[in-house]
A and B are shown apart, each in its own frame.
Chain A
Amino acid sequence: MGARTNIRRRVRDVLASRTALDWLPVVVLPVVLEIDAALSVRGRPITIVSVLAAIVGCLPLVARRRVSFPVLLAPLVGGVVLVLWRVHPENTVVLIPMVALFECALRGDRRQSIWMAVAIGPCVFISVIPFATGAAHVAGIVVRNLLLCLLAIVAGEMVRSRRQSAERMVAAAEQATLRRLSDERLRIAREIHDVVAHAMTAINVQAGVAAHLLQRDPGQAQSALRDIKRTSGEALAELRGTLEVLRDPAQGAPMGPVASLHDLAPLVENLRAAGVDVRLDVEPVAELPAAVDGAGYRIVQEALTNVARHAAASSAEVSIRRAGDDLCIDIVDDGRGNVQAVPGNGLRGMRERAVALGGTLEAAPGADHGWRVSARLPLGTAAV
């Protein structure tokens, strides 16, 4: 079952890679420009020269994600002029600066966007002048193209600020998780300290009494020893109660087998019985640290439980593979992706497990449907 998914994933990876995205406008825009030119009022035929000019004119866009806007500006204007001069499109040439402006606004900051909005005016003007047929014509084109350019900048700004606020929210959630974890640890440490210190102090004092008075006052020494017995027994019971909290309720008896990613079959069987077809795509990972193995299993278990409970899904896919120094776990289903991430659905538990190992966990609706849980657990560190 793995081969086809692997090919699909490769194709997806290549398409999503940087290089493909960088060259995309150079492939698409010339086609658009040529069609526009061919359909325009002046109806120029498509020639090799015009095609080359269109491609060369779009070429600066390849660097749009690598260099800063000031560097990009001159080649961009040159490209636009070349296209206007040799291809004669009607309205679509403005797409070239729009792509660049959108991308630059997306990667830059607000100051750069304002700077771009100011700088683009003269550039539009200069590149249109040589090809204009009259003052009214120039004004019309300049105004329209300028507005479109500004629109691209605004769009880039909006997408960026949305991404940033999403990142901030994730960071805040991670912070809150860390804080809660450390609060909890602190509370337990304090509780254990209190129990132990309290009991040990009393036992220590009473032991001193027993030793000191053993000869002189055996009765007193004996009652001190009885107190030691009782106090230590009570402290043990209290410690047991406190440490109970640290045990994983899902794990049942502490003597039970340790959860492992090698034992996913029973989980899958359970889900199949519940009517969800689960595909496992597990790449063998050598020397999986026990902490990562256990946490990974719990994450898969929790995610699949959510699929069964909330997603109304008919199938799900669990993929586990190594990426660099991380173990990547993805659980994707084909159900309703619009399920709200309610606090009770174990999401927090999953994230805590990932964060405790120095990893991350994201849970969000999938690209087109369903729900996706993605965890990255570092393999190197044996944290916790």
Chain B
Amino acid sequence: MITVELVDDQALVRAGFRALLDSEADIAVVAQAPDGEDGVALAREHRPDVVLMDVRMPRLDGLQATAQIVADPDLAGTRVIVLTTFELDEYVFGALRAGASGFLLKDVEPADLITAVRVVAEGEALLAPRLTRRLIEAFVAGGGGAPPPLAEDVRASLQALTPRELEVLSLVGRGLGNAEIAERLVLSPLTVKTHLARLFAKLGARDRAQLVVAAYEARLVVPGTAPSE
């Protein structure tokens, strides 16, 4: 059973998502909150597998709430999906960087919403790979100008990576799943998982989404060169 928490200031949106998710046998909505502050408190109480988090909310916005959940060691098993109305803006990018596992547009098809919750709970694949890459490209490239210099901590943690790990990271950055990576590098899926686990640890990443951000920021993937599925 996948447990889900809904955080959104619109009761109707919460009710809609709840009806959709509760209709699935393997998913249960265990908590609902109208703002970030309650969202974080309820997450601590219920420890859901997945939190669907709105961005613009009173009291505490979705970005800060995401950061708090991600930073809480008790909530290491909780994944956050950021919901956005239609703006793929720097806030959503910031949420990914802060540790969100992915983002969804609120007008997502019901079936895709349900799949997204399962994918993120599983932790294997990147949510909405094409959209995610486009968003990250847009904000890492900084609107066509020269890419920003690497942050000191990113540079340091990149130096700790083995050549093989760098290869895996660049493939993750292109949106490839575990099986595809294994095939490309002629490795066993298990070895890929081991490499990924090391990457998560060394880069302090929580999720594939942060690995993609890191791959772009390390310029392992140059904006515009990733294959479009």
User: Which positions in A face B, CB cutoff 8 Å?
Assistant: 197-198, 201-202, 204-206, 208-209, 211-213, 216-217, 220, 224, 227, 231
Shortest CB-to-CB span from B11 to chain A, Å, is 9
Q: Which of B12-20, B35-43, B176-184 lies at the interface with chain A?
A: B12-20
B residues adjacent to A (C-beta < 8 A):
10, 12-13, 15-17, 19-20, 23, 85-86, 106-111, 113
A201-B85, A208-B110 given; A216·B16 CB < 8 A: no
Tell me whether A198 and B20 are in contact (CB under 8 A). no
Cα distance A94–B211 in the bound complex, in angstroms: 86
**Given A209-B16, A213-B23, A197 and B110 touching (CB < 8 A)?**
no
Taking a contact as CB atoms under 8 Å apart, the answer to whether A211 and B19 are in contact is no
> Are the CB atoms of B23 and A202 closer together than 8 Å?
no
Interchain CB contact under 8 A, B110 and A211: yes
Tell which of A205, A213, A217, A227 touches B106, judged by Cβ atoms closer than 8 Å. A205
27 contacts between A and B (CB under 8 A): A197-B85, A201-B10, A201-B13, A201-B85, A202-B10, A202-B12, A202-B16, A205-B12, A205-B17, A205-B106, A205-B107, A208-B16, A208-B20, A208-B108, A209-B19, A209-B20, A209-B110, A211-B110, A212-B20, A212-B110, A213-B19, A220-B19, A220-B23, A224-B16, A224-B19, A227-B12, A231-B12
Contact A201 B111 (CB under 8 A): no
Give the nearest-CB partner of A220 in chain B.
B19
The answer to whether B13 and A202 have CB atoms under 8 Å apart is yes
CA distance A110 to B209 in the complex (A): 64
Question: What residues on B are CB-neighbors of A201 within 8 Å?
Answer: 10, 13, 85, 106-107
Question: Which residues of the partner chain A approach B86 to less than 8 Å between Cβ atoms?
Answer: 197
A206, A213, A216, A220: which contacts B12 (Cβ < 8 A)? A206
CB-based contact B23/A217 at 8 Å: yes
| B contact residues around A220 at 8 Å (CB) | 19, 23
Choose one: B19, B20, B23, B107; the contact of A204 (CB below 8 Å): B107
B19 neighbours in A (Cβ, 8 Å): 209, 213, 217, 220, 224
Assuming the contacts A197-B85, A212-B110, A212-B111, asked whether A205 and B23 have C-beta atoms less than 8 A apart, the reply is no
Within the assembled complex, what's the spacing in Å between the Cα atoms of A212 and B16?
11
Q: How far is the CB of A183 from the nearest CB of chain B, in Å?
A: 21
Judging by beta carbons under 8 Å apart, are A198 and B10 in contact? yes
Distance to closest chain B CB from A218 (angstroms): 12
CB distance from B57 to the nearest CB of A (A): 12
Residues from chain B with a CB closer than 8 A to the CB of A224 are 16, 19
**Distance of A207 from chain B, by nearest CB (Å):** 9
Q: How far is the CB of A161 from chain B (nearest CB, A)?
A: 44
A209: B residues at CB distance < 8 A: 16, 19-20, 110
Chain B residues closer than 8 Å to A208, beta-carbon distance: 16, 20, 107-110, 113
**What's the minimum C-beta distance from A203 to chain B, rounded to whole angstroms?**
8
> Which residue of A is nearest B114, CB measured?
A212
Known: A204-B107, A216-B23. A227 touches B13 (CB 8 A): no
Name the residue of chain B whose CB is nearest to the CB of A212: B110
Cβ–Cβ contact B85 & A205, under 8 A: no
Taking the closest CB of chain B, its distance from the CB of A341, in whole angstroms, is 43
Q: Of residues A201, A205, A227, which shows the largest number of chain B Cβ atoms within 10 Å of its Cβ?
A: A205
For A206, give its contact among B16, B23, B85, B109 (CB under 8 Å): B16
Contacts of B107 in A (CB 8 A): 201, 204-205, 208
